Structure 1
Amino acid sequence: MRRLAWFTPARQGLAGLLLLALLAGLPLRHLLEASMWRHMLLQYPLWLLAGALMAGTLGPGAQRRLARWNAHGIAGLAGVGVVLSVLMVPRVLDLALNDVLVETLKCAALLLAGAALRLSWNAAGLVLQGFFLGNVLPMMVVVGQLYIDAPLRLCNAYLLDDQARLGHWLIALAAVLAMAWLAHVAWWLVRREGAGAKLTASDH
């Protein structure tokens, strides 16, 4: 934790703004959106990261006010799930490439989803985190398999092999995220049992 002490809320906000500026710039945007898998698996997470970094600038007072409508992170995680489900629709990818308004709404939604994810994740606890991932990760697998099995291009802007590549990456990413979260749960349980054992030993 001490190693990250220098990464203050102000610096997090600055990093988020710099990342936002890079993502909004035409060179990087065109590079990421030139490929279907980069569009969804690189651009989307980077916008989420920018939102999460900028959310770090919120003070305790603002976080308490937000918590009034985001008890246990439920509203925030639900919003993130809705945003991700909509933005995985092939038609949305096509529209984002051809309509400036849709592209702007897409980026704004991802930015807000990243902020909501940061503000909601710890508040949700393991049970609600598992419920959230239990909905989002299978959705990623289903969408990925659809991209692989579809005989025709689902997005007019991208080739069929790029579509299949995205499908394979979506399934792989879902598996990696699931294993990472399960490893975190296992670590938490071991840590809790270790703390309980120390407390019991101290009582004797």
Structure 2
Amino acid sequence: MRIVRPLALVAVFVTLAVPALREPLEASMALQMLALLPGVFAAGWLSARLAPARWQARAMAALRPHALSLLVVAALGYGLWMLPIALDLARLSPAVNAAKFATVFVAGLSTGIALRVAAWPLVLFFGGNMVWMGLTFGMLFIDAPARLCASYLIDDQRMAGVGLVAGSAGVGVWLLAWVVRRAGWSNSEDSEKTAKDWPAIAVNAGQKGLTQKGRKQQLRAAATTVAPDKGPDRAPD
């Protein structure tokens, strides 16, 4: 795995840097939405795990309070390029095209970090909305009577729609499995922690009960204790 991740990143960056490799993928709506953009997103995801473990731990600790912001960045950075007008603008402007790859990469990076620091209900909410968005756009691409992107043919658009529906359904299944595993892990961790703390809880409860039973004796003992000679509240002789 240590070798696969850097090789995958190199493959994605080479594809983006070499026009002969990138342009055939961009020329097809289906290939761009189902291969190129997911590949850039995966590269961002993988890059979150390439740093040394010590740096990753520090980064996770620093970014934990910003889990909501990370998920918002991920949703906006990837969801924007499902819009047909955005794809057309990317084909017309090199600057917009570069921004497309940059935002999708950042979306993948944010997702890779958020899955490690965010609470599972938050991930389920944003992930579920992204799955629903993919299904909606996919059905729209399939059922539209005319092409929605001026740069792509309607058959290519429908193929992209079928791929979006299938891919979104697969991501939805993976998301549910991840949530079940994460929620079960959290519950088992809490149960284990509670079980470990039961002896201390029992001792504290026993001490509390003993204190309540012997409160009068303790108060009497405190009343008979000699007061110190220092302090403004000392009673006069």
Task: Mark the CA change 1:63 to 1:23 in structure 2 (over 3 Å): closer, same or farther.
Answer: farther
Which residue does 2:42 correspond to in 1? Answer: 49
Secondary structure of the residue that 2:149 maps to in structure 1?
A: coil
Task: Mark the CA change 1:78 to 1:193 in structure 2 (over 3 Å): closer, same or farther.
Answer: closer
Secondary structure of the residue that 2:152 maps to in structure 1?
A: coil
* Contact persistence 2:120–2:183 (CA under 8 A): no
- The CA RMSD over aligned residues, in Å, is 2.9
Q: 1:22 aligns with which of 10, 15, 29?
A: 15
| Cα shift readout 1:107-144 (whole Å, capped 9, x = no counterpart) | 11111111111111121132111111121111111111
Question: When the two structures are superposed, what TM-score results if normalisation uses the length of structure 2?
Answer: 0.70
Task: Mark the CA change 1:113 to 1:192 in structure 2 (over 3 Å): closer, same or farther.
Answer: closer
Which residue does 1:148 correspond to in 2? Answer: 142
1:4-153 alignment, distance < 5 Å = 4=1, 7=2, 12-13=5-6, 15-59=8-52, 60-61=54-55, 64=58, 68=62, 71=65, 73-153=67-147
- In the alignment, the residues of structure 1 paired with residue 93 and residue 7 of structure 2 have an alpha-carbon distance, to the nearest angstrom, of 29
* Contact persistence 2:142–2:161 (CA under 8 A): yes
Q: 2:174 aligns with which of 172, 180, 186?
A: 180
Unaligned runs of 5+ in 1: none
- In the alignment, the residues of structure 2 paired with residue 181 and residue 21 of structure 1 have an alpha-carbon distance, to the nearest angstrom, of 30
* Contact persistence 1:14–1:54 (CA under 8 A): no
- In the alignment, the residues of structure 2 paired with residue 168 and residue 18 of structure 1 have an alpha-carbon distance, to the nearest angstrom, of 26
| Cα shift readout 1:164-183 (whole Å, capped 9, x = no counterpart) | 11112111111111112223
Aligned letter for 1:118?
G
**Distance apart, 1:57 and its partner CA:** 3.5
**Distance apart, 1:18 and its partner CA:** 4.2
Aligned letter for 1:148?
I
Q: How many residue pairs align between the two structures?
A: 193
Aligned letter for 1:113?
A
Aligned-residue sequence identity (percent) comes to: 32
**Distance apart, 1:26 and its partner CA:** 0.9
- In the alignment, the residues of structure 2 paired with residue 69 and residue 104 of structure 1 have an alpha-carbon distance, to the nearest angstrom, of 26
Aligned letter for 1:24?
A
- In the alignment, the residues of structure 1 paired with residue 23 and residue 16 of structure 2 have an alpha-carbon distance, to the nearest angstrom, of 10
Which residue does 2:226 correspond to in 1? Answer: none
Higher mean Cα deviation, 47-56 or 58-67? 58-67
- In the alignment, the residues of structure 2 paired with residue 192 and residue 107 of structure 1 have an alpha-carbon distance, to the nearest angstrom, of 35
Aligned letter for 1:175?
A
* Contact persistence 1:72–1:125 (CA under 8 A): no
Question: When the two structures are superposed, what TM-score results if normalisation uses the length of structure 1?
Answer: 0.80
* Contact persistence 2:77–2:106 (CA under 8 A): no
Aligned letter for 2:105?
L
Higher mean Cα deviation, 167-176 or 99-108? 167-176
- In the alignment, the residues of structure 2 paired with residue 15 and residue 85 of structure 1 have an alpha-carbon distance, to the nearest angstrom, of 23
- In the alignment, the residues of structure 1 paired with residue 186 and residue 77 of structure 2 have an alpha-carbon distance, to the nearest angstrom, of 34
